[in-house]
Structure 1
Amino acid sequence: MESRCENCIIRQFNSLRAMSKEELKQVSDSKITKKVKKGEPLFNEGDKLNGVYCVRNGVSKLSKLSENGKDQIVKLASKGEVIGQRSVIAEEHTNLSAVAVSDMELCFIPKNSITDTLHKNPNFTLEVLRHMAHDLKEADDVIVNMSQKTVKQRIAEAFLYLKNNFGEDKDGYLALTLSREDISNVVGTATESAIRIISEFKKKGLIKSSGKRIAIADEQGLLDLVEGF
């Protein structure tokens, strides 16, 4: 049975929590539940969105294509997050692409349901602004990391981020498996450099791997590396 927005616990994690019960009912009546397989796009850079995506399960990478043809992953959007609201509110084409890095379940909420509520509900407008401000802060942090931290520090930080935000599986490996190319696109380096540094981390006992899966073997060692010790 499809979940109703007014009864969905996911909304507590995003701006939808500021909607009234009647507004949530209207959203629920208009939303479409979608399932997206790993590797499939939600939308591409330059698309015109007719609504936003609320993530019920799974993870999507949001990335921008650089002039040299390399993707830069700027965010990993997971359960509870709303994707596409900046483009919808600004009435602009998307400046990022969104691709599933795991199987996903999403609710697509039409544009009118969002914009109508923005006009009528100041609490919802404030919540949307807060979430957009948080995204801007994260973007600022990415810029600072790129300019002030080495590639080794950024890769170490990426592994710690994956553990802290997505956890580990029953075998102790990172629950979210990213390809070596995706890891390089997160930290902003060549795939070959990322592979070389990951191999170095393994030799030093900081991590271990099994195929594409990676486990953190020495968390304190990674923390010390991030801090420059």
Structure 2
Amino acid sequence: MSEQKYNKGDILFRAGSVPAGIFFVKKGKVKKYKADHEGKEHILYVANEGELLGYHAILSEERYPDSAATIEDSTVAFIPREDFLQTLQNSNILSHRLLKTLSHEFAVLTNSITVFAQRSVRERLAITLIVLREKFKTADTTPQSVVINISRTDLANMVGTAKENVVRFLKEFKTSGILSTQGRKIMIHDIKKLVEISNYGNI
């Protein structure tokens, strides 16, 4: 596989294009999203270090159903289609890992649909922040030192609301002492309160 460095916002692939291979996130984070006819994004999933992207289209022999772009400076490796399929045929470990990944992404998507159907914007934002806190954890960070580094536009596209609503509720959470912000960075201080706001246990 060949590695390439990407700047924040760089496109890995676009919906509708023919897949030439798969992508492996070695460093950074990548969003999978769909854009509507007006160009507004809906973020479906955020891939972390160690996750694979683009294999759905190859396995189904179809075009990419969604697009992928970095949300921070990242290093991503590319594995050509032929090499991926040959390895998949010869490796039980890779087959098992892909099945596990597919199951995880399906669970995330199912939960997202439920959340969007039943939860207010305030609750959806709280749930999204809880999920992102886990995504931005690293081996050398404590729960209190996790920094969520994401644009307000991307955050709004994950929550499924206008950017102005996200800014308004973040200000409310900040006033309540639940989190603090520094530019686009968000630091959560009271995860228990955020869980209460999310109302997640009653989904």
> Shorter-chain TM-score: which interval?
0.7 to 0.9
Q: Which amino acid aligns with 2:193?
A: G
For residues 181 and 105 of structure 1, the distance between their equivalents in structure 2, rounded to whole angstroms, comes to: 22
Q: Which moved more, 1:34-43 or 1:203-212?
A: 203-212
- Cα shift at 1:227: 2.1
Offset at 1:173? 6.0
Structure 1 residue 146 corresponds to structure 2 residue 116:
yes
In 2 relative to 1, CA 173–158 (structure 1 residues): closer, same or farther, beyond 3 Å?
A: farther
* Paired-residue identity, %: 28
Q: Deviations over 1:78-129 (max 9, x none)?
A: 1110000101111211111111111111211110112223344455434323
1:63/1:73 contact within 8 Å kept: yes
Moved more, 98-107 or 65-74: 65-74
The match for 1:49 is 19
Gaps of 5+ in 1: 1-30
Contact 2:48 2:135 in 1 (8 A): no
Q: Match for 1:151: what amino acid?
A: V
Return the letter of the residue paired with 1:82.
L
Q: Is the 8 A contact 1:173 1:213 kept in 2?
A: no
1:223 aligns with 2:199: no
**What is the 5 A alignment of 1:17-166?**
31-122=1-92, 124-166=94-136
1:202 to 167, 171, 174: 174
| Secondary structure class of the residue paired with 1:39 | coil
> How far did 1:200 drift?
1.6
| 1:51-91: CA deviation from partner (whole Å, max 9, x where unpaired) | 00111111011111124431001111111100001011112
Give the partner amino acid of 1:100: T
Q: Which region of structure 1 is more displaced relative to structure 2, 49-58 or 125-134?
A: 125-134
Post-superposition offset of 1:176:
3.5
8 A contact 2:35–2:42 mirrored in 1 = yes
- The one-letter code sitting in structure 2 at the alignment partner of 1:145 is V
Aligned-partner Cα distance in 2 for 1:68–1:76: 22
CA separation in 2, counterparts of 1:173 and 1:121? 38
RMSD over aligned CA atoms reads 2.1
Say if 1:122 and 1:214 are closer, same or farther in 2 by CA, change over 3 A. Answer: closer
Contact 2:147–2:187 under 8 Å retained in 1: no
Q: Which protein is richer in strand relative to its size?
A: 2
Structure 2, unmatched stretches of 5+, are: none
TM-score (ref. length: structure 2): 0.88
CA distance in 2, matches of 1:209, 1:36: 25
For residue 46 of structure 2, give the secondary structure of its aligned residue in structure 1. Answer: strand
Tell me the number of residue pairs that the alignment of Structure 1 and Structure 2 aligns: 198
Give the TM-score taking structure 1 as reference length: 0.79
Residue type at the aligned position of 2:148:
L
